[in-house]
């Protein structure tokens, strides 16, 4: 298929672009490089450095079989301090993209949605029909886009899939997580092991969880990318499907730090810090729907393997 990958210079977008190319697709990446890196765009993809909001119409006029829409602001903490960046950058840009899709009759869309659309769950694991009550602006903006996609699918025949990612981690060879300002737990903990930080701060130890630290469901980025390939094949005109992507097992911040100590052999000092605004206590996915409808089967569900791949990537970049 001829595919437009928005945000393909970012972490998840670059891994997915690489997997799409490996599977014989024709890939164009559009990215404004506000958080992505030009050298993360995989060889073999055409790269357009541009603001998606301004160029979506022009790009899709070329005739694409589908769009994979990764481009977004995606930090929970930042979204609470800088909501305009999220409403403008995520919602307004995505609405422009949807308009371009409608105008040019692009048949397929796979959208990066998030577990943050659910907010504090009533029960875990979280199924797709759980109430959506985001506790942070980031989740609220992604939920708004999900609603817009549903309307466009119903009214204009778009075949769309929203994939609700839980906590993505790990790396796919040379493609991994490297944010200029890192806020995600596993890369931060690994920075301590690399000697780039003195210690990790654990945001709260008084959450209603077994050890008092927040619990998350970590998914390997390669497994996540494979779900995108399956989602593309399964879109149907006029349908908007939603799938959770996680492994169904929760690990606390404390357990993640412990696993990183085991993988790296570094003592990784950790201190308790105040809670971070917008964090739910526990997010664990039920991915039964993706498993049954998409035949999705995560291959790297073990947290040790996820951390190992993230560690190899982080060490390689640090050495380079």
- Min CB(179)–ligand UFG separation in Å: 10
Strand partners, 175: 172
- Min CB(102)–ligand UFG separation in Å: 27
Report in angstroms the alpha-carbon separations of 62 from 56, 57, 92, 257, 317. 11, 9, 22, 47, 36
- Min CB(117)–ligand UFG separation in Å: 8
Choose between 167 and 286: whose C-beta lies nearer to ligand UFG: 167
**Closest by Cα among 208, 200, 211 to 252:** 211
| Number of residues written out for the chain | 320
- Min CB(280)–ligand UFG separation in Å: 8
CB count within 10 Å of CB 121 equals: 18
Choose between 150 and 201: whose C-beta lies nearer to ligand UFG: 201
- Please check whether residue 266 is in contact with residue 232, taking contact to mean a CB–CB distance below 8 angstroms: no
Report in angstroms the alpha-carbon separations of 272 from 103, 199, 200, 259, 275. 51, 10, 9, 18, 9
How is residue 13 written in tokens?
């977008």
Choose between 97 and 116: whose C-beta lies nearer to ligand UFG: 116
In the set 11, 118, 138, 218, the catalytic residue is 138
Measured over the CA atoms of residue 79, residue 181, residue 89 and residue 129, the dihedral's sign is negative
Choose between 45 and 192: whose C-beta lies nearer to ligand UFG: 192
11 is catalytic: no
The pairing of beta strand 251-252 with beta strand 215-216: antiparallel
- Min CB(141)–ligand UFG separation in Å: 11
Task: State the residue number with the nearest CB to ligand UFG.
Answer: 214
Rounded to whole angstroms, the Cα distance separating 103 from 55 reads 13
DSSP string, 232-286: HHH--TT-EEEEEES-S--EEHHHHHHHHHHHH-----EEEEPPPTT--SEE-B-
Choose between 188 and 301: whose C-beta lies nearer to ligand UFG: 188
Contact positions toward ligand UFG, by CB under 6 A? 74, 76, 114-116, 166-167, 183-185, 188, 200-203, 214, 216, 253, 276, 279, 283
**Closest by Cα among 188, 231, 184, 213 to 70:** 231
Rounded to whole angstroms, the Cα distance separating 151 from 189 reads 41
- Min CB(95)–ligand UFG separation in Å: 20
Choose between 16 and 214: whose C-beta lies nearer to ligand UFG: 214
- Min CB(132)–ligand UFG separation in Å: 12
Query: Where does the chain have alpha helices with state H?
Result: 11-22, 52-60, 76-81, 83-86, 93-104, 137-156, 185-193, 221-234, 253-264, 288-293, 303-319
Choose between 9 and 100: whose C-beta lies nearer to ligand UFG: 9
Supply the residues annotated as catalytic. 138
């Amino acid at each position: 298929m001829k595919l437009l990958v928005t945000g393909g210079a970012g972490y998840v977008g670059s891994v997915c672009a690489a997997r799409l190319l490996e599977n014989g697709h024709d890939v164009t990446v559009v990215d404004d490089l506000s958080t992505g890196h030009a050298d993360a765009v995989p060889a073999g993809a055409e790269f357009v450095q541009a603001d998606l909001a301004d160029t979506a119409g022009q790009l899709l006029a070329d005739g694409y079989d589908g769009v994979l829409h990764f481009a977004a602001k995606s930090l929970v903490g930042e979204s609470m301090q800088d909501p305009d960046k999220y409403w403008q950058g995520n919602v307004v840009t995505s609405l422009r993209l949807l308009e371009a899709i409608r105008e040019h009759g692009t048949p397929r869309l796979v959208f990066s949605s998030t577990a943050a659309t659910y907010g504090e769950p009533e029960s875990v694991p979280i199924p797709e029909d759980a109430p959506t009550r985001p506790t942070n602006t980031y989740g609220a903006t992604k939920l708004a886009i999900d609603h817009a996609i549903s309307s466009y699918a119903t009214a204009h025949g778009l075949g769309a899939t929203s994939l609700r990612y839980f906590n993505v981690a790990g790396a796919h060879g040379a493609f991994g997580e490297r944010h200029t300002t890192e806020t995600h737990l596993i890369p931060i903990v690994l920075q301590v092991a690399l000697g780039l930080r003195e210690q990790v701060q654990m945001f709260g130890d008084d959450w209603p969880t077994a050890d008092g630290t927040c619990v998350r469901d970590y998914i390997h980025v390669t497994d996540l990318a494979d779900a995108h390939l399956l989602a593309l094949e399964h879109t149907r005109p006029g349908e908007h499907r939603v799938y959770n992507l996680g492994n169904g097992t929760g690990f606390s911040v404390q357990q993640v730090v412990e696993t990183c100590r085991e993988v790296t052999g570094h003592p990784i000092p950790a201190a308790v810090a105040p809670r971070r605004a917008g964090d739910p206590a526990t997010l664990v996915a039920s991915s039964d729907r993706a498993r049954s409808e998409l035949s999705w089967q995560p291959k790297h569900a073990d947290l040790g393997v996820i951390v190992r791949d993230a560690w190899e990537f982080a060490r390689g970049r640090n050495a380079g």
